[in-house]
Structure 1
Amino acid sequence: MDLFGDLPEPTQTCTPSTVRLNDSKDGSHGDADQDGARKRKQSSSDAEEAQEEVKRVCTEGLPALRGFVAARRGERDEMQDAHVLLPDMSELLSVQPRSVSRLSYFAVFDGHGGARASRFAAENLHLNLARKFPTGESENLEKLIKKSLLDTFKQTDDDFLKKASSQKPAWKDGSTATCALVVDDTVYVANLGDSRAVLCRMDLSEGQTKPITLSLSKEHNPTMYEERMRIQRAGGTVREGRVLGVLEVSRSIGDGQYKRCGVISTPDLRRCQLTRNDRFLILACDGLFKVFSADEAVKFVLSILQTQDSDGADPEEGDSGPDSGLDSACQQLASEAVKRGCADNVTVILVSISFSK
């Protein structure tokens, strides 16, 4: 399990220590009690105002994120994918850590055996994460974020399995999960199964600009050595690349009948600090990556954006607004996957990344 496999990180940071909080102490007695209370109230108010100023200053240096989604049923009878776009997740937290200025969440879920597991995860995983997210003055915030993500996936899986087993007949649905949690300028990706997350970063070295594709997720299938060994130690078998010859993934939410065979809900976690050279993040189910490599998907999006930048308008929508090209690129990428012969459901989330100049 690759917990927090770090990717290349820049040194850009936002340090709230430049703002000093006022501290007022009162040692008066008798008739000065009311004045002391007023001073303490004012001190608290000043501290809150200063903290808000910290967050305002820090937010100004953070990347602007805009999320777009495209979903295609393909040749399937049912759309079993689900997705979530939450550019501002902060409002779901009861108490937000003072060191955090912005929280965003994007996720794609690819269901199998039905759509109930993917829909359940889409409806509940971010709510569980909001409840488990670190609060107050949190030291070692990254370690606590890791723990909250691990606990969130376990809680979501346990809750779904409990609900699934109570049905008559029991639900046998399962789902992959690829979730991107953006905390200020750092993205944390937690994933199960074969849905993926990739980042487009522009390389400006040697006087040329060229795209680099960074993988922010790890696929889980039973043909991988570590995954196969875990399944076999649990008493399961891998036949024709599948658990018991049936299940294509070795980690998932749901799939209660395979949990005794070594199928787990523990995600791999990756962390990457965003830079001014980053253009966009792609989260997609395997329906996209069956017909696109990660590099091809990134270059496909870039080609559309470059074409529309040169044209100055979106030829399909007739809209030259700032989001039209990004939305069109997302829609065209999903449509192209179907055109290339993917019969599976295809869901693509495109998250644009831009820093103010």
Structure 2
Amino acid sequence: MDLFSDLPEPTHTVPGEGHPKTPVPSLFDDLPPASDTPVNSDKEICSIPPVTKEVKAEKRKAEDKNGSKVQKIAEKKVCKGIPKLKGYVAARKGEREEMQDAHVLCDLTADVSPLPDSVSHLAYFAVFDGHGGTRASKFAAQNLHLHLASKFPKGEVSNMEKLLKKCLIDTFRQTDEEFLKHASSQKPAWKDGSTATCVLAVDDVLYIANLGDSRAVLCRVFEEENKKITALPLSREHNPTQYEERMRIQKSGGTVRDGRVLGVLEVSRSLGDGQFKRCGVICTPDVRRCQITPNDRFFFLACDGLFKVFSPEEAVSFVLVTLEDQTLELKEGKTLQDIQYESACHRLANEAVRRGCADNVTVLLVAIQH
């Protein structure tokens, strides 16, 4: 049985890439606005309120005494039963001179109007790992979710999954084009680039879009199977050593040396990196869909700094051990869950640095409450 699945492929061609994309093999506030993460910051981000199945209100039309039509009454939604999501962030500069990672947690519900009839709530989580500077990751953190909200399907729609995949692909393309236009106008031109791993929670379904080597991982615990723990990969890495990625780069006239594009760039898909776009580096994300189940405890997004010293399974186990730590000190104004997840997020980032990761480390941990 598939635990998650790829979304159907939208029928469109990405400008500048010459051919339609093939399907991916296999597979939200009170939140602060997008901002830079201070070095060594540990932040608990407030929760996404619980929501539920939408009860469609009867749409009524009436005419006033002058015969003009009154606007349709807004559809009402009843909120209960859908998992509550709460996010926590820890970021470490490591041994790098500057912090090039960026992250965003935000509620997009109010930014999409009218919401599709089948949707009650939208939440967005993202991690961006910059290289060559901080400008691409900052730009993506400030703009990508705004484009996503503006392109999100509205009102009555059919085939939501197909529309969402197209929406996410178009959002990444627009963000990339805008950054490259701005970067090329500078003197000297900016050469920054960034990975992107984004999770859009649509009620109880996660849509994951990613470029590069940052990752998203879901913890699923099967209580009926003696608490069997599974670390489900929600994203797929893109590096030039992979066959399909290398073939695309070579067909575009680029080369792969020492596992890098032109012997320089470690990823084969990214935002920015204008000097590598002619060599087959693209901004088209893989898009996957995952249904949240009662067995799901949390998911996390992290840059490659974490995965240089942790496997996904080790990271999940590390978080679970902290969540079960009975010695954590209670703090006034914070729930036990806040303390547990905050500590788990902080400890995971700290441990990555202790294990010798010299890169920036950003961990965005999202608790799932049923």
**Alignment TM-score, normalising by the size of structure 2:** 0.83
Q: Partner letter of residue 348 of structure 1?
A: V
Match of 1:302 among 316, 320, 323: 320
1:5–1:269 contact (8 Å) kept in structure 2:
no
Change over 3 Å in CA distance of 1:316–1:336 after alignment to 2 = farther
Q: Partner letter of residue 232 of structure 2?
A: L
Question: Distance between the aligned counterparts of 1:76 and 1:93, measured in 2?
Answer: 38
Task: Choose between structure 1 and 2 for higher RCO, CA contacts under 8 A separated by at least 6 residues.
Answer: 1
Q: How far does residue 4 in structure 1 lie from its aligned partner after superposition?
A: 8.6
Change over 3 Å in CA distance of 1:335–1:140 after alignment to 2 = same
Question: Distance between the aligned counterparts of 2:319 and 2:220, measured in 1?
Answer: 13
Q: How far does residue 348 in structure 1 lie from its aligned partner after superposition?
A: 0.4
Q: How far does residue 94 in structure 1 lie from its aligned partner after superposition?
A: 3.8
Partner of 2:102: 82
1:338 matched to 2:338? The reply is no
Question: Distance between the aligned counterparts of 1:285 and 1:186, measured in 2?
Answer: 23
The 5 Å alignment of 1:303-318 reads 303-307=321-325, 310-311=326-327, 313-314=328-329
Q: Cα deviations across residues 308-340 of structure 1 (Å, max 9, x unaligned)? A: xx34x4379996543111111101100100000
1:69–1:330 contact (8 Å) kept in structure 2:
yes
2:250–2:279 contact (8 Å) kept in structure 1:
yes
Q: Cα deviations across residues 205-254 of structure 1 (Å, max 9, x unaligned)? A: 34x11211100000000000000000000000000000000000000000
Would you say how many aligned residue pairs link Structure 1 and Structure 2? 326
Question: Distance between the aligned counterparts of 1:2 and 1:328, measured in 2?
Answer: 39
Partner of 1:248: 266
Question: Distance between the aligned counterparts of 2:309 and 2:329, measured in 1?
Answer: 25
The 5 Å alignment of 1:148-227 reads 148-206=167-225, 208-227=226-245
Question: Distance between the aligned counterparts of 1:67 and 1:213, measured in 2?
Answer: 18
1:192–1:265 contact (8 Å) kept in structure 2:
yes
Q: Which has the higher helix share?
A: 1
Change over 3 Å in CA distance of 1:98–1:4 after alignment to 2 = farther
**Alignment TM-score, normalising by the size of structure 1:** 0.86
Instruction: State the Cα RMSD in Å.
Output: 2.3
Helix, strand or coil at the partner of 1:34: coil
Change over 3 Å in CA distance of 1:319–1:62 after alignment to 2 = closer
Partner of 2:5: none
Q: Partner letter of residue 265 of structure 2?
A: L
Q: How far does residue 36 in structure 1 lie from its aligned partner after superposition?
A: 7.3
1:4–1:269 contact (8 Å) kept in structure 2:
no
Partner of 2:80: 60
Q: How far does residue 97 in structure 1 lie from its aligned partner after superposition?
A: 1.6
Q: Partner letter of residue 271 of structure 1?
A: R
Q: Cα deviations across residues 181-216 of structure 1 (Å, max 9, x unaligned)? A: 00010000000000000000111334x112111000
Q: Cα deviations across residues 1-33 of structure 1 (Å, max 9, x unaligned)? A: 544954xxxxxxx764x656265678xxxxxx6
Question: Distance between the aligned counterparts of 2:305 and 2:156, measured in 1?
Answer: 42
Change over 3 Å in CA distance of 1:25–1:328 after alignment to 2 = same
Q: Partner letter of residue 87 of structure 2?
A: G
Change over 3 Å in CA distance of 1:177–1:288 after alignment to 2 = same
In structure 2, runs of 5+ residues without a counterpart are 1-21, 28-51
Q: Cα deviations across residues 16-62 of structure 1 (Å, max 9, x unaligned)? A: 4x656265678xxxxxx62977xx75x944xx3xx31xx22xx3111
1:324 matched to 2:355? The reply is no
1:314–1:320 contact (8 Å) kept in structure 2:
no
Question: Distance between the aligned counterparts of 1:162 and 1:4, measured in 2?
Answer: 32
Question: Distance between the aligned counterparts of 1:143 and 1:254, measured in 2?
Answer: 26
The 5 Å alignment of 1:273-292 reads 273-292=291-310
Helix, strand or coil at the partner of 2:320: helix
Helix, strand or coil at the partner of 2:322: helix
1:69 matched to 2:84? The reply is no
Helix, strand or coil at the partner of 2:241: coil
Q: How far does residue 96 in structure 1 lie from its aligned partner after superposition?
A: 1.9
2:116–2:153 contact (8 Å) kept in structure 1:
yes
1:234 matched to 2:252? The reply is yes
2:136–2:272 contact (8 Å) kept in structure 1:
yes
Change over 3 Å in CA distance of 1:338–1:197 after alignment to 2 = same
Q: How far does residue 276 in structure 1 lie from its aligned partner after superposition?
A: 1.2
1:314–1:328 contact (8 Å) kept in structure 2:
no
Partner of 1:29: none
In structure 1, runs of 5+ residues without a counterpart are 7-13, 27-32
Partner of 2:58: 21
Match of 1:262 among 275, 280, 301: 280
Change over 3 Å in CA distance of 1:235–1:203 after alignment to 2 = same
Question: Distance between the aligned counterparts of 1:316 and 1:289, measured in 2?
Answer: 31
